[in-house]
């Protein structure tokens, strides 16, 4: 399996899985519960992935700021009010989630209010927490009100020339306008610059296409393990890493504040990785391997591949340009966030993919590396695109982990966790 750019890391996270736990903090999976509720409603409304990701990040930053507004342990994301140590953190988080989702999904307000009421059932004096959570949610929503989010699928492909991206199916394009959205932490979509893809006549591109054809084709890939990996990760990305974060937080019995912070950091990084990655994708508009193979003998010549070769990718190509690999960008960013919270040592978990597929992993790095490799094995990405996506994600994840939601005071209580779920 190809090793990602671990040798370039300049930040050393503890391999002992040391977790920050504030003394006496309430333990709950409230942030994860609200994520489940939100995702169920997003799916019911058939929201596109980019819209869901933005909403998740608003939701999780609001829940984090609400919990943090009680304890005051970390720098907030957007909340500028004073802390209230006497307020109920659970009520604050609950109200922040309710208000954010009610504004984003007003048609689902009644269902959301039922969910919120159930989660407050055992609290004796929630009022101060409710007021605090409401104030936090309003500030988070105001901060994102003019972020230029655009989920239109309108897209006009470039000319049908060699190397230029062309849609690979009749499905809708994915987020061609998301590059215009203001990131959550990065200064812009080009905060970290992505170099152009290799020229079609270069040996790097020619080798890359040959490798994809050999390793990622329905007609050429016969190794059952490789086929399984390609299919397991075909629909991963944001959903996969949120699943891993929820399981890891539960395994390590994180406090409500720490769980909220973990999911907020993760989704900030995933959203900013989406904005940056898709900015590069639609800027360079490089064709998919499937299109390159269809162009053999017409608009493109390859030194070894034959024009009459029958070939199709093992998994369907996503409906957006090829370069760089977004699974790789998101995965590398997510790995950096998860290691900043849980450490970079062993962390056992099971990933449950679509179609009943699942697999056990021993570390975040193992999952991220396999996720990246799966795109070559699936026939939808070139090796160079993986490498560039990995590096872009590493830069974004490291930046978010170093600059966002940082401790404001010394925290003495350390809990060591060897994840087991």
Give the model confidence (pLDDT) of 133-152 as tens digits. Answer: 999 999 999 999 999 999 99
- 97's CB contacts (< 8 A; 6+ apart) are 30, 31, 34, 38, 59, 62, 63, 116, 133, 137
The residue segments making up the domain with residue 297 are 198-421
Return the pLDDT at 41. 97
Q: Is the pLDDT of residue 381 over 80?
A: yes
Give the model confidence (pLDDT) of 203-233 as tens digits: 999 999 999 999 999 999 999 999 999 999 9
Q: Indicate the pLDDT class of residue 1, thresholds 50, 70 and 90.
A: very low
Q: Do residues 141 and 203 both lie within one domain?
A: no
Residues 332-362 have pLDDT tens digits of 999 999 999 999 989 999 999 999 999 999 9
Verify that 222 and 343 share a domain, yes or no: yes
In a domain, 1, yes or no: no
Q: Same domain for 341 and 218?
A: yes
Question: Is 403 strand, coil or helix?
Answer: helix
**Structural domain includes residue 266:** yes
The residue among 101, 116, 145 that closes a domain is: 145
**Boundary residue ending a domain (106, 127, 145):** 145
CATH code of the domain in which 334 resides? 1.10.606.20
pLDDT digits (tens, 9 = 90+) for 87-132: 999 999 999 999 999 999 999 999 999 999 999 988 888 999 999 9
Looking at the predicted structure, is the pLDDT value of residue 13 above 50?
no
The verdict on residue 223 lying in a domain is yes
Same structural domain for residues 129 and 215?
no
Task: Assess whether 136 and 211 both reside in one domain.
Answer: no
Evaluate whether residue 169 is within a structural domain.
Answer: no
User: Are residues 135 and 234 located together in one domain of the fold?
Assistant: no
Same domain, yes or no: 232 and 93: no
Evaluate whether residue 209 is within a structural domain.
Answer: yes
State residue 188's pLDDT score.
98
Per-residue confidence band for 246, with pLDDT thresholds at 50, 70 and 90? very high
Do residues 120 and 239 both lie within one domain?
A: no
What is the average per-residue pLDDT within 261-268? 98
Assess if residue 59 is contained within a domain.
yes
Question: What is the spatial distance between Cα 390 and Cα 388, in angstroms, rounded to a whole number?
Answer: 5
418 falls in which pLDDT band (50, 70, 90)? Answer: low
User: What's the rounded Cα separation, in Å, for the pair 211 and 216?
Assistant: 8
pLDDT of residue 411: 66
Note whether 118 and 211 are same-domain residues: no
Among positive and negative, which fits the CA dihedral 281, 284, 285, 290? negative
> 216 and 137 share a domain?
no
pTM over 0.85: yes
Average pLDDT over the chain reads 91
Q: How confident is the model at residue 410 (pLDDT cuts 50, 70, 90)?
A: confident
In whole angstroms, give the CA distance from residue 366 to residue 335: 10
Q: How many domains does the chain have?
A: 2
Q: Which of 107, 126, 145 is the endpoint of a domain?
A: 145
- The angle that helices 89-104 and 256-284 make with each other, rounded to 10 degrees, is 30
More confident residue, 310 or 417: 310
In a domain, 2, yes or no: no
Burial track 230-245 (b if 16+ CB lie within 10 A, e otherwise): bbbbbebbbbbbbbbb
Domain-embedded: residue 245: yes
Question: Alpha-carbon distance 262 to 284, whole Å?
Answer: 33
């Amino acid at each position: 399996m190809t090793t990602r750019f671990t040798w370039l890391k300049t930040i050393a996270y503890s391999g002992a899985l040391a977790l920050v736990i504030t003394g006496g903090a309430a333990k709950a999976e409230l942030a994860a519960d609200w994520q489940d509720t939100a995702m169920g409603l997003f799916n019911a409304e058939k929201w596109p992935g980019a819209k869901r990701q933005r909403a998740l990040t608003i939701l999780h930053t609001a829940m984090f700021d609400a919990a943090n507004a009680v304890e005051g342990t970390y720098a907030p994301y957007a909340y500028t009010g004073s802390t209230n140590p006497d307020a109920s953190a659970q009520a604050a988080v609950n109200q922040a989630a309710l208000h954010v989702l009610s504004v984003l999904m007003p048609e689902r307000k009644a269902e959301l209010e039922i969910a919120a009421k159930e989660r407050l059932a055992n609290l004796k004096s929630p009022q101060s927490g409710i007021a605090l959570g409401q104030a936090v949610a309003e500030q988070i929503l105001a901060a994102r009100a003019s972020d230029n989010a655009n989920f239109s699928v309108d897209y006009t492909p470039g000319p049908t020339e060699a190397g230029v991206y062309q849609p690979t199916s009749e499905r809708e394009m994915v987020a061609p306008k998301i590059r215009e959205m203001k990131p959550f932490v990065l200064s812009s979509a080009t905060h970290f610059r992505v170099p152009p893809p290799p020229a079609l006549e270069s040996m790097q591109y020619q080798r890359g296409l040959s490798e994809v054809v050999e390793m990622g084709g329905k007609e050429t890939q016969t190794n059952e393990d490789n086929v399984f990996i390609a299919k397991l990760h075909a629909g991963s990305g944001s959903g996969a890493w949120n699943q891993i974060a929820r399981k890891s937080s539960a395994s390590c019995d994180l406090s409500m504040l720490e769980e909220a912070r973990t999911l907020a950091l993760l989704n900030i990084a995933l959203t900013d990785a989406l904005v940056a990655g898709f900015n590069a994708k639609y800027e360079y508009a490089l064709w998919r391997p499937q299109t390159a193979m269809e162009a053999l003998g017409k608009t493109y010549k390859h030194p070894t591949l034959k024009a009459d070769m029958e070939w199709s990718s093992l998994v369907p190509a996503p409906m957006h340009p090829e370069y760089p690999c977004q699974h790789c960008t998101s995965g590398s960013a997510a790995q950096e966030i998860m290691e900043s919270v849980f450490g970079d040592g062993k962390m056992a978990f099971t990933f449950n993919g679509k179609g009943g597929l699942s697999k056990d992993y021993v570390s975040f790095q193992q999952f991220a590396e396999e996720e990246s490799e799966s795109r070559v094995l699936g026939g939808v990405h070139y090796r160079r695109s993986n490498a560039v996506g990995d590096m872009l994600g590493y830069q974004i994840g490291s930046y978010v982990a170093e600059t966002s939601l940082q401790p404001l005071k010394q925290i003495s209580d350390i809990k060591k966790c060897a994840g087991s779920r």
